[in-house]
């Protein structure tokens, strides 16, 4: 057994050097050279200031912006996570009912509107950067009102939103979605240029 | 362009599943054939790249790769290696504050959490009591977790190779050399695939950096600290090595671990690719590809049935307070189908990574995840260990078939006698016993119940899921359960150890016994094990063993919850 333990230690050390240091460090070097933007988190800077990452959702509560999905962690990535409420959870039921009412009220929608499930249920990571196109569409009138858009500008806003819809990747993978942060940044510049 | 109508399973969803299965079928034979070459020590196309490195590995560690080990020596080597790994990984965590590459100055990990995580990674379970971004330094993730992602997978492969040699060799004691198997698996199979996957993942947006966390000011002026790190290199092997422990807390639901539907597809394929190739390799090694394909057919059939049930439940059942399937715990870019496809793939293999949160699945869908693991991870299963456990079921099936027709059971020319059957039964039942005993203890003690996140039958499911995941060395979770307590860290640790080492001891003792036997030529009385009929028998034995052991507790958990959910009961 003593020989086995000694052999084990030697093999583990060699393996650690190779798979635990050389492999990740070489991969980091390659990643930083070939894909520096992605490797560092697809960060978005405006006028040199870091406003977030394309891939990490952030909270929007103001009427002038598209809202993201509910998040169990309030979009604070330390640490990421979900509510983990099961389908028979009281708390989840109450949350969903409140979210539905609030979404309809705050967006000024008819009471019988079918709110997309993405806006009723929190995401798995708590950092979902996307919403469904349907969820974005339902927010357009509220944003237009808050920004004082006329009908021409509202039509531009709708077009802008539609141009941000990403279909399934390679034509068949995943669901259609809209990146909330990118759309909101585009929305801010639309607001500036259309005035 | 195909756009799915939300909440309805359509062509778009069927195509994704179809392409996944097609890719799996196409990639299985070439990888399996390549592995045959690697483990027989034959020259392969990577020998010019890694041959010299392999030899220097042996030279530095002064190991003779050609020295044959009998089953006891082989087992001792596995145990010694695991023990040393456990101690070193524990030490790394409890001293990480003093070690380099810790830009966020994360403190030392507590002793019990470090124990749990060390056992978890050493046993190829990769249960996450820790939250990567707030618990572990980059150094711990790289030099600790990543290393074990490689070697625990390679060790699983090694014991399978020993078992296969036991079946194919005649009247000898040697089952090969553990160190050579370990090194070859790591260098020729795991490492090249990980390198390829890492590069693609980074290209799609998975982070790979040594910088500290980024501090952003959002459009609305809030502060957001964005956790980053050398994630892609770890995620690649986490998926390929049936490991599953996330770099981040939310695992592959986290946009930095799994940024696009394409990364999701590739990570998904990586989960099951090597376990699937193992089966093809097995067929080739025992000299009959048909033997391999029959087992593969059994695996893929059970996989498809489980997938069908889980999809049906998720699309068709929901609580009455909503009118569509639930998106709780799911990501927009992945949607329901990809979440469920991943759920079934990660639980039939012993991967355990997640791209949605299983605590929030519909009860029957969550139950499918548990049943997948309760089979004992034999439907593809963990690298090596999955097929090895499946072979124990094959021996049991041969034995039962032999009893039915009144002949001495044989498998591939070897007589199956009382010793092999006893060991197989121990290997198959030990994890189940651990699951039920620990679940019972946790459900009746205050410390066990105080960690629950959900009430009613779902609470029982949370406990049952945890111990099932541990004993099956899976690592996925109903994450609502607060498992980072001394009680769960320790009991889960023991649960994982039983689930890993009792079956390994069983494979190797069976291998040793079979290797020593003479071959008997097949006769008219031999029950053929490469037929569809045998496949059905094998499914029957697997289902009966799992169903009889676990049906009562499943009835009290997910099954009763399903009916309560439909009538709108909440807790």
Cα–Cα distance for residue pair B99/B143, rounded to 1 Å: 11
What pLDDT does residue B6 have? Answer: 61
Question: Which chain A residue lies closest to B12 (C-alpha atoms)?
Answer: A172
**Cis before residue A138, ω within 30 degrees of 0?**
no
Q: Looking at the structure, tell me whether residues B223 and B352 fall in a common domain.
A: no
On average, the pLDDT of chain A sits at: 95
Cα–Cα distance for residue pair B401/B397, rounded to 1 Å: 6
Q: Looking at the structure, tell me whether residues B209 and B68 fall in a common domain.
A: yes
Partner-chain contact A128 B335, CB within 8 Å: no
Query: Is position B82 within any domain?
Result: yes
Cα–Cα distance for residue pair B264/B205, rounded to 1 Å: 12
Q: Looking at the structure, tell me whether residues B274 and B343 fall in a common domain.
A: no
Please report where in the chains the tokens 């635990």 appear, as a residue.
A20
Partner-chain contact A31 B182, CB within 8 Å: no
Domain count, chain B: 2
Domain limits at B549? 338-566
Domain count, chain A: 2
Partner-chain contact B134 A169, CB within 8 Å: no
* Residue of A12, A14, A24, A172 for testing the chain B interface, max B β-carbons within 10 Å: A24
Domain boundary residue, one of B265, B281, B297: B281
Strands of A130-131's sheet in order across: A130-131, A177-179, A165-166
Note whether A110 and B160 are within 8 A (CB).
no
Domain limits at A5? 1-40
Query: Is position B317 within any domain?
Result: no
Q: Looking at the structure, tell me whether residues A150 and A130 fall in a common domain.
A: yes
B463 to chain A: which residues are within 8 Å by CB? none
Q: How many C-beta atoms lie closer than 10 Å to residue B105's C-beta?
A: 8
Cα–Cα distance for residue pair B210/A32, rounded to 1 Å: 10
Query: Is position A45 within any domain?
Result: no
Q: How far is A150 from chain B (nearest CA, A)?
A: 24
Query: Is position B295 within any domain?
Result: no
Q: Which two tokens stand for residue B278?
A: 């193992």
Element at A130 (helix H, strand E): strand A130-131
**DSSP assigned state of A177:** E
Query: Is position A47 within any domain?
Result: no
Q: Looking at the structure, tell me whether residues B346 and B458 fall in a common domain.
A: yes
Enumerate the β-bridge partners of residue B224.
B216
**DSSP assigned state of B37:** H
Enumerate the β-bridge partners of residue A131.
A178
Partner-chain contact A83 B338, CB within 8 Å: no
Query: Is position A46 within any domain?
Result: no
> In the predicted model, is pLDDT for residue A5 greater than 90?
yes
Q: How far is A137 from chain B (nearest CA, A)?
A: 15
B186 to chain A: which residues are within 8 Å by CB? 15, 19
**DSSP assigned state of B526:** P
Element at B214 (helix H, strand E): strand B214-217
Q: Looking at the structure, tell me whether residues A183 and A100 fall in a common domain.
A: yes
Q: How far is B3 from chain A (nearest CA, A)?
A: 7
Residues 6+ apart with CB under 8 A from B4: A175, A176, B10, B12, B13, B335
Q: Looking at the structure, tell me whether residues A26 and A119 fall in a common domain.
A: no
Q: Looking at the structure, tell me whether residues A33 and A56 fall in a common domain.
A: no
Query: Is position B353 within any domain?
Result: yes
What value of ipTM does the predicted structure carry? 0.96
What pLDDT does residue B523 have? Answer: 81
What pLDDT does residue B1 have? Answer: 33
pLDDT lower than 70: segments of chain B: 1-6
What pLDDT does residue A195 have? Answer: 66
Query: Is position B323 within any domain?
Result: no
* Residue of A17, A87, A101 for testing the chain B interface, max B β-carbons within 10 Å: A87
Residues 6+ apart with CB under 8 A from B66: B177, B180
Q: Looking at the structure, tell me whether residues A56 and A134 fall in a common domain.
A: yes
Q: How far is A149 from chain B (nearest CA, A)?
A: 20
Q: Looking at the structure, tell me whether residues A22 and A90 fall in a common domain.
A: no
Q: Looking at the structure, tell me whether residues B141 and B277 fall in a common domain.
A: yes
Query: Is position B479 within any domain?
Result: yes
Tell me how many residue pairs between chain A and chain B have CB atoms under 8 A apart: 389
Q: Looking at the structure, tell me whether residues A96 and A121 fall in a common domain.
A: yes
Helices then strands, each counted (H, E), chain A: 9, 5
Partner-chain contact B216 A51, CB within 8 Å: yes
**DSSP assigned state of B97:** G
Partner-chain contact A123 B332, CB within 8 Å: yes
What pLDDT does residue B248 have? Answer: 97
Cα–Cα distance for residue pair B462/B458, rounded to 1 Å: 6
Q: Looking at the structure, tell me whether residues B560 and B418 fall in a common domain.
A: yes
Query: Is position A64 within any domain?
Result: yes
Q: Looking at the structure, tell me whether residues B380 and B502 fall in a common domain.
A: yes
If DSSP states are collapsed to H, E and C, what string results for A36-83? Answer: HHHHCCCEEEECCEEEEECCCCCCCCCCCCCCCCCCCCCCCCCCCCCC
- CA atoms within a 13 Å half-sphere pointing along the CA-CB vector of B497: 15
- Supply angle C-alpha A112, A115, A120, rounded to 5: 130
């Amino acid at each position: 057994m003593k020989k086995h333990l000694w052999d084990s230690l030697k093999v583990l050390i060699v393996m650690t050097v190779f798979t635990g240091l050389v492999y990740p460090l070489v991969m980091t070097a390659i990643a930083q050279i070939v894909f520096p933007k992605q490797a560092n988190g697809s960060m978005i800077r405006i006028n040199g200031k870091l406003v977030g990452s394309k891939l990490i959702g952030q909270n929007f509560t103001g009427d002038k912006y598209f809202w993201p999905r509910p998040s169990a962690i309030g979009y604070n990535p330390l640490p990421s996570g979900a509510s983990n409420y099961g389908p028979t959870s009281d708390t989840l039921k109450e949350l969903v009912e409140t979210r539905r009412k609030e979404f309809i009220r705050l967006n000024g929608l008819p009471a019988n509107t079918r709110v997309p499930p993405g806006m009723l249920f929190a995401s798995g990571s708590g950092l979902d950067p996307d919403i469904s196109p349907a969820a974005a569409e339902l927010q357009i009138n509220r944003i237009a009102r808050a920004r004082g858009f006329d009908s021409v500008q509202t039509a531009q806003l709708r077009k802008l939103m539609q141009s941000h819809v990403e279909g399934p990747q390679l034509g068949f993978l995943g669901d259609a979605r809209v990146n909330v942060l990118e759309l909101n940044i585009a929305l801010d510049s639309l607001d500036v240029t259309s005035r | 362009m195909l756009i799915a109508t939300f909440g309805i399973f359509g062509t778009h969803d069927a195509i994704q599943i179809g392409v996944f299965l097609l890719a799996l079928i196409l990639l299985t034979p070439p990888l399996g054939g390549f592995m045959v070459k690697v483990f027989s020590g034959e020259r392969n196309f990577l020998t010019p790249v890694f041959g010299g490195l392999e030899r220097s590995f042996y030279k530095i560690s002064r190991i003779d790769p050609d020295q044959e080990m009998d089953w006891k020596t082989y087992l001792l080597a596995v145990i010694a290696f695991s023990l040393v790994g456990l101690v070193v990984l524990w030490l790394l965590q409890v001293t990480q504050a003093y070690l380099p590459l810790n830009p966020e100055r994360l403190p030392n990990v507590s002793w019990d959490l470090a124990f749990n995580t060390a056992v978890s990674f050493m046993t190829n379970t990769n249960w996450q009591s820790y939250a990567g971004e707030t618990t572990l330094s980059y150094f711990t993730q790289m030099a600790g977790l990543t290393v074990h992602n490689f070697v625990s997978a390679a060790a699983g492969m090694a014991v399978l190779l020993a078992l296969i040699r036991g079946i194919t060799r005649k009247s000898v004691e040697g089952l090969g050399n553990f160190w050579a198997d370990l090194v070859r698996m790591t260098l020729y199979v795991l490492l090249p695939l990980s390198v390829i996957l890492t590069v693609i993942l980074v290209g799609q947006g998975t982070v790979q950096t040594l910088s500290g966390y980024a501090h952003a000011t959002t459009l609305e002026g809030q502060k957001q600290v964005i956790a980053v790190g050398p994630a892609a290199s770890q995620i690649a092997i986490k998926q390929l090595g049936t490991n599953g422990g996330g770099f981040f807390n939310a695992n592959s639901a986290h946009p930095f671990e799994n940024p696009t539907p394409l990364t999701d597809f590739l990570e998904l394929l990586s989960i099951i690719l090597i376990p699937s190739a193992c089966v093809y390799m097995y067929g080739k090694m025992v000299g009959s590809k048909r033997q391999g394909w029959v087992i593969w057919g059994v695996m893929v059939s059970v996989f498809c049935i489980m997938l069908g049930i889980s999809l049906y439940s998720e699309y068709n059942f929901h609580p009455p307070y909503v009118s569509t399937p639930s998106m709780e715990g799911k990501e927009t870019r992945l949607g329901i189908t990809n979440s469920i496809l991943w759920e079934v793939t990660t639980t039939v293999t012993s991967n355990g990574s997640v791209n949605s949160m299983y605590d929030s699945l519909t009860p029957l869908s969550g139950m499918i995840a548990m049943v997948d693991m309760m089979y004992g991870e034999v439907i593809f299963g963990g690298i090596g260990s999955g097929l090895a456990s499946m072979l124990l079921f094959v021996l049991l099936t041969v034995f039962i078939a032999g009893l039915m027709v009144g002949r001495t059971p044989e498998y591939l020319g070897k007589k199956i006698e009382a010793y092999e059957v006893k060991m197989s039964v121990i290997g198959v039942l030990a994890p189940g016993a651990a699951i039920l005993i620990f679940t019972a203890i946790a459900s009746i003690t205050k410390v066990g119940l105080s960690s629950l996140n959900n009430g009613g039958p779902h609470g029982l499911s949370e406990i049952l899921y945890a111990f099932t995941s541990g004993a099956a060395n899976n690592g996925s979770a109903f994450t609502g359960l607060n498992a980072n307590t001394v009680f769960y860290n320790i009991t889960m640790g023991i649960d994982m150890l039983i689930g890993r080492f009792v079956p390994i001891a069983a494979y190797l003792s069976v291998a040793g016994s079979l290797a020593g036997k003479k071959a008997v030529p097949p006769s008219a009385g031999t029950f053929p094990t490469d037929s569809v009929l045998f496949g059905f028998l094998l499914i029957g034995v697997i289902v009966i063993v799992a169903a009889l052991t676990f049906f009562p507790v499943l009835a009290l958990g997910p099954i009763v919850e399903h009916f309560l959910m439909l009538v709108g009961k909440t807790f």
